[in-house]
Amino acid sequence: MSNSQEKEVSEGESTSFRCDAVGNPLPLVFWTRAGDEQIIAKGDTITIDNVRNWQQGEYICTAIVEGFKHASMSHFLHIRGAPVITVPAEVTAGTGESTEISCHISGRPKPLEIRWTKDGEPLNYASGRTQVHQIPRLYRVESRLTFKDLRDTDMGIYNCTASNGMATSSKSVHLKRRGVTDILGFSDVYAVSTEKAQGLETLQEIDTPKTSTHNLVPSPDKIRPPSRASTHSINSTDAFVEVRFADEVQKTEVVTSLSPHWDSDLFPFDTDEKQLSECWVQFRVMDHDTYSANDAIGRVNLDCNILVEKMRMQEMERLDEIHVLPIYDTLNGGFEQYNLL
């Protein structure tokens, strides 16, 4: 077959590609666009009249001889004009991770300059955590913006801008922190269930097959996310909620210990300085046990069953009452709305 060809034309002009294939018997030749099996022409030559921008791209000729393997050759049509930029709408990653944003630029003339900005400002490469690599590709150029040890300050809107002497084009990408919904999918919700023991005040009971014990609906004052000012340092990608432990009778400082197997360094207690009679304890997904809480002077012992689990949306729809409260996502470092029982 003949060699691969590249043609460069302006919009409105005409051009053609030729595919010389020899064989005995003479091969049948047909033409397709890359990524599309529809035949757009037959014969050795394809002619494109009154070229439009959408016709830029790769054209493939395929030669067929019965009883032999098919032979194909690619040709590329470039349209003179503004650079054509292709980027993803968004890229998600977690803090501390490495990631990259790719910007693909095609068109003619080839880009003379490719630059990146964040929120309209030039990037600062001094730290070495952020770098740009220009990679020549077949028929195009890839500009790859790479990140190491991502931080919250790296999140935002990034623009890839390319200039080729005729025009300038730009497209934006949203680099966002990965949240729980990116990991679990939007069909997943969390159910938080508590059952107080020792005849203490119970919450509303609901019927669900998720556990063998009663699932009880926490009221809004029994469950909360930590505040944004929280200094919690948690090396976990699991979401967690905080459940309130309080001595409503003695009004003493409650919960200096919680058993079993509770790591107070990893999951610290959060005691409100103004309300020493209560504290909030963090529970991760699938933390399920009977916990015993003790106050500072040992006068109060509170046992309760705690279950934090992921439930499917169709199970949630069967419940009579759903509280929509925030859940804290340690990977996201902020708040996301989830349905909590």
How do residues 85-134 score in pLDDT, each as one tens digit? 999 999 999 888 999 999 999 888 889 999 999 988 999 898 899 999 99
The answer, yes or no, to whether residue 6 has pLDDT greater than 60, is: yes
Structural domains of the chain in order of their starting residue, each with its CATH number: 6-80 (2.60.40.10), 84-178 (2.60.40.10), 184-340 (no CATH)
pLDDT band, residue 327 (cuts 50/70/90) = very low
| pLDDT, position 49 | 94
Angle at the Cα of 41 (from 50 to 18), degrees rounded to 5?
80
| pLDDT, position 98 | 92
Tell whether pTM > 0.85. Answer: no
Q: Which whole number is the average pLDDT over 66-80?
A: 89
| pLDDT, position 141 | 92
Mean predicted lDDT score pLDDT of the chain: 65
| pLDDT, position 221 | 38
Q: Is residue 341 a contact partner of residue 220, using CB atoms and an 8 Å limit?
A: no
The answer, yes or no, to whether residue 76 has pLDDT greater than 50, is: yes
Q: Cα 148 from chain centroid? A: 17
pLDDT band, residue 309 (cuts 50/70/90) = very low
How do residues 122-179 score in pLDDT, each as one tens digit? 998 988 999 999 998 877 899 999 999 999 899 999 999 999 988 999 999 999 987 5
177, 178, 179, 159: which is closest to 169 by C-alpha? 159
- Bridge-based pairing state of the strands 168-177 and 90-93: parallel
* 135: CB partners within 8 A, 6+ apart: 141, 142, 143, 144
- How far apart CA 245 and CA 308 sit, in angstroms, is 16
How do residues 234-260 score in pLDDT, each as one tens digit? 233 344 444 554 444 444 444 444 444
| pLDDT, position 43 | 93
| C-alpha pair distances (Å), 84 with each of 52, 64, 91, 148, 161 | 13, 34, 20, 28, 10
How do residues 178-207 score in pLDDT, each as one tens digit? 753 333 332 233 333 443 333 222 222 322
314, 292, 311: which is closest to 193 by C-alpha? 311
Contacts 24+ apart (CB under 8 A), 123-131: 129/154, 130/154
In the chain, % of residues over pLDDT 70? 52
